Amino acid sequence: MFNLLRNPGSTPRSTNSHSARLGVEVLEGRALPSTFNSVLPIVSVAHNIQRDLKDIQSDVRSLTRTLGSNSSASVTADLTALQTDLAAVKADLGAGVSASTDLAKLTNDLTTLTSDLGTNLTRSARHELRDLTHDVNALSRDVMQQAKREADRAEHEILSTVQRDLQAIVGDVQALVRALGSNTSVTVKADLTVLQGDLFTLKADLNAGTSVTADLTKLTNDLTTLTNDLGTGVSSTVQGILSDLRQDLQTLTTDVGHLANRAQQEVTDLQADLTNLTQQLGTNVSANVTADLNALDAALTTLSGDVNAGNDISADVNAVFKDEITLLGDLTGQLSLGVRLSLLDIAFDLQALSNVTT
C-alpha cells in the first residue's frame, strides 16, 4: 500500500535505503519488535532527517536566487513562510515534541507556493521546485518513520513489562502452592484451584488482546478470599508470598492500564488523521470519495467503541484498512503531498494499534 502512496513523478536524489525491518521476538505467543534491532534504524532515520532539513534549506535558497527580485509579492511571502515553517519543524524536533502540525503547514505552504508560481517557470526553477517538493516529502516520511519506530519501542517495553508482571504472578502462585503443601483445608485447595484458573483466563485474554479488567478484578477478589480462608496462623514464608502476589498483581494492573492508554491514543491519532485527510481533500471530490470518507468515519467509530469496551478489534482493524484501500482506489489524479502523508499516517497508526492490541 505504501508504494501506491508515493509520488510517481518524484525522482530521489539519493538511492540509500534505511528501511531496515524490525526484528521480532515472541513472548507468550505475541510478536514484539526487538528493542535491540530497532535502535540502529532510529539513529539512521534521525540522520536522514538532518540531511532532509539541510536539503530543504538549500532548495529554498536556490529557488529564491533563481526566481530573483522580480517575484510577485505572493511568491515572496510564500518563500518566507516556508523558511518560517522549516525553523518551526527544526525547533519541534530539537525539543522532542511532535512536528506533525508544523510539517502539515510546511506542506500546505509548499502547495500554495507551487500554485502561486504557476506553470510559466524556467527550466531551472522547475527543477529546484521539484527538488524542494521531493525533499519536503522525504522529511515528512522520515519524521513519520522515526515516530513510528519510537512508538514501536515504547509498545515493546509496555508489552514486555506486562509479560514479566504476569510471569511474576505465576511464580508467586506456584511458590504459594509449594509453601502450603498438601496439609491444607479443602476450602484453601479450592481457592488455589480458582486462582490458577483465573491466571489461565488472564493469560488467554492478554494474548488475545481483549480486555482483562474483569480478569484482574476477579483475580484480586479471589486472592482476598484465599487470604481470608488461610487466616492469621500461616507461616512468615506464606505471608511473604501473599504480600508479593498482591504487589505483583497491583503492578500488572497499573501496566495494563498503560497498555490501554496507548491503544486509546492510537485511536485518537487515527481520528485526527481522518480529519486532516478530509480537510485536505476539500469539498470538490466525487460522490464515491465522499462515501468512502463516511465509511472510514463509521469504521473508526466502531473501532473506537470496541477499544473502549475492551473487545477484540481485529475485524475492526481489517474494516478500516479495507475502507482506506477503497478510498485510495477512488481517488483519481495526482494526489497532493498532504493527502499522501495523511493516508500514510492512517496506515501507520492502524499498524501501531494492531501491535498494541493483538
SS3 for the chain, per residue? Answer: CHHHHCCCCCCCCCCCCCCCCCCEEEECCEEEECHHHHHHHHHHHHHHHHHHHHHHHHHHHHHHHHHHHHCCHHHHHHHHHHHHHHHHHHHHHHHCCCCHHHHHHHHHHHHHHHHHHCCCCCHHHHHHHHHHHHHHHHHHHHHHHHHHHHHHHHHHHHHHHHHHHHHHHHHHHHHHHHHHCCCCCHHHHHHHHHHHHHHHHHHHHHHHCCCCHHHHHHHHHHHHHHHHHHCCCCCHHHHHHHHHHHHHHHHHHHHHHHHHHHHHHHHHHHHHHHHHHHHHHCCCCCHHHHHHHHHHHHHHHHHHHHHHHCCCCHHHHHHHHHHHHHHHHHCCCCCCHHHHHHHHHHHHHHHHHHHHHC
Q: Which residues pair with 233 in a beta bridge?
A: none
What digits encode the pLDDT tens for the residues 73-101? 999 999 999 999 999 999 988 888 778 77
What does the block give as the cell for 81? 513562510
Helix axes 186-208, 123-180, angle to 10 degrees: 170
For residue 4, which phi and psi values (nearest 5 degrees)? -70, -20
What's the distance, Cα to Cα, between the start and end of the chain in Å? 21
Whether 148 and 352 have beta carbons less than 8 Å apart is answered as yes
CB atoms inside a 10 Å sphere around CB 320? 24
Which domains can be identified in the chain, with CATH numbers? 160-256 (1.20.1270)
Cα separation, 45 vs 42, in Å, equals: 5
pTM of the model: 0.57
Residue whose C-alpha cell reads 511568491 in the numeric block: 75
Dihedral (Cα; 63, 68, 72, 75), 10-degree rounding:
20
Query: Which residue, 262, 355, 339, 107, is CA-closest to 99?
Result: 107
Residue whose C-alpha cell reads 540509500 in the numeric block: 16
Residue whose C-alpha cell reads 508479593 in the numeric block: 244
Cα separation, 320 vs 315, in Å, equals: 9
What does the block give as the cell for 281? 481533500
What digits encode the pLDDT tens for the residues 166-176? 999 999 999 99
pLDDT tens over the chain, length 358 residues: 433 343 434 444 443 433 333 333 333 444 433 433 443 344 567 888 889 999 999 999 999 999 988 889 999 999 999 999 999 999 988 888 778 778 888 988 998 999 999 988 899 999 999 999 999 988 988 887 787 777 777 777 877 888 899 999 999 999 999 999 888 899 999 999 999 999 999 988 888 777 788 999 999 999 999 999 999 888 999 999 999 999 999 999 998 888 788 888 888 889 988 988 898 888 888 999 999 999 999 999 999 998 888 788 888 989 998 999 999 889 877 677 678 778 878 887 887 787 666 5
